[in-house]
Chains A and B, each alone.
Chain A
Amino acid sequence: MTIHAQQRFDSLIEADERIEPDDWMPEEYRQTLVRQIAQHAHSEIIGMQPEGAWISRAPSLHRKAILIAKVQDEAGHGLYLYGAAESLGTTRAELLDRLHTRRQKYSSIFNYPTPTWADVGAIGWLVDGAAIANQVPLCRCSFGPYGRAMVRICKEESFHQRQGFQILLRLTEGTAEQKQMAQEALNRWWWPSVMMFGPPDSESVHNARNMAWGIKRFTNDELRQGFVDMTVPQAELLGLTIPDPELRWNDERGHYDFGEPDWEEFARMVRGEGDLPEQRLRVRREAHENGAWVREAAAAYAARQRQAA
């Protein structure tokens, strides 16, 4: 039976068909996906915080409306993804508990501070830009619910990137002070964004297996190169300088060459050291704990209504 099931799984993967939740799948495939989808979901909801903090201070009502809609989308993306993860048999409550107790991670990009309004722009343009580069191939992920969630998410994300770019565009068209604010935000977010694609292929442990399983479609370095190639002309359009002295066009390769990110910093961020990661998790945990009596009340009311019916 298991041999038959394994054969069917292999042939579906071989044929680039989708695996659906009720299908037999290798335990490791299941666990890899639960971990990856959950981490992705956690990143969406933790990612609401650095931008959410600017909703109350957005400098125009138009920007405020856009930002509320964007942060709301992120909650929505979290929900799509938790739904996909739950289809593999782990409840959202359990996944949130793993986040709250640091047994699962979220993207370390959200452990960087957002001191100015321009950071909101940089997150949209660069972080969402990098996220889209990462996510578009995931629309073809071999696990059906994940791919379907990603299709929905990618459709919504392109507005996120554009609004970020537009925030910076307005700043670079503005006063010298505004322009400087934009440049400083780019300086802060460039390298973290480049590192969002994960460690270099030479050090990435699961690349090969995840590619074979159709969970990953391009390697970290391929995606990173694509992001740099896409972003450099946009920075030029903004009249901003990417903080990498080694950045230049390579005619031979048909790509931009760029410098080596600080992978030690990356490792520190992934470990979640420092006050900001602690704060992010605290906000999350407090929201969950302070909401317990509310969830209980709704459950109690629903139970009584069912009994009365």
Chain B
Amino acid sequence: MNADWPRWEVFLRARRGLSHTHVGSVHAADGETALQAGRDLFTRRQEGISLWVVPSEQVVASDPDDQDSLFEPADDKSFRFPTSFELPSEVDQM
């Protein structure tokens, strides 16, 4: 049998109020041992208070070749940003 342990992506919440952020990967046979390995590897210096591990093979990623079609159409919609609206100077807070 193949005894090489699968790879897991590790996500760490640095502190309450922040979302989990990808920090790296570990190899482990199952989720529980992946959590333990993630804890030992990524929180030696109090870097976090909560961990997620996700099998790397389960990650669905966008293709870099699709970058233009996926992300560039957003670049001519400046009206989504509040700074593109000019307001009368009398309006103080909006």
Contacts and interface: CB of A to CB of B under 8 A. Distances in A.
Asked if A and B are interacting partners, one says yes
A93 interface: yes
Contact of A23 (B4, B29, B44, B64): B64
Contacts of A292: 3
Main secondary structure of the interface of B (DSSP, over half): loop
Main secondary structure of the interface of A (DSSP, over half): helix
B74 interface: no
A22 B29 CA distance: 25
A97 B44 CA distance: 28
A302 B63 contact: no
B1 interface: yes
Task: Report the interface size class on chain A.
Answer: 20 to 34
A24 B30 CA distance: 32
Contacts of A298: 5, 28-30, 33
A51 interface: no
A194 B44 CA distance: 31
A121 interface: no
A92 interface: yes
B94 interface: no
Interface in B22-74: 24-30, 33, 41, 44-45, 61, 63-65
B29 to A, nearest CB: 4
Given A22-B61, A91-B4, A292-B3, A299 B29 contact: yes
A24 B5 CA distance: 28
A203 B27 CA distance: 39
Interface of B: 1-5, 7, 24-30, 33, 41, 44-45, 61, 63-65
20 contacts: A20-B64, A24-B64, A24-B65, A73-B44, A79-B26, A83-B25, A86-B7, A93-B4, A149-B24, A292-B3, A296-B3, A298-B30, A298-B33, A299-B1, A299-B5, A299-B29, A301-B29, A301-B30, A302-B30, A303-B1
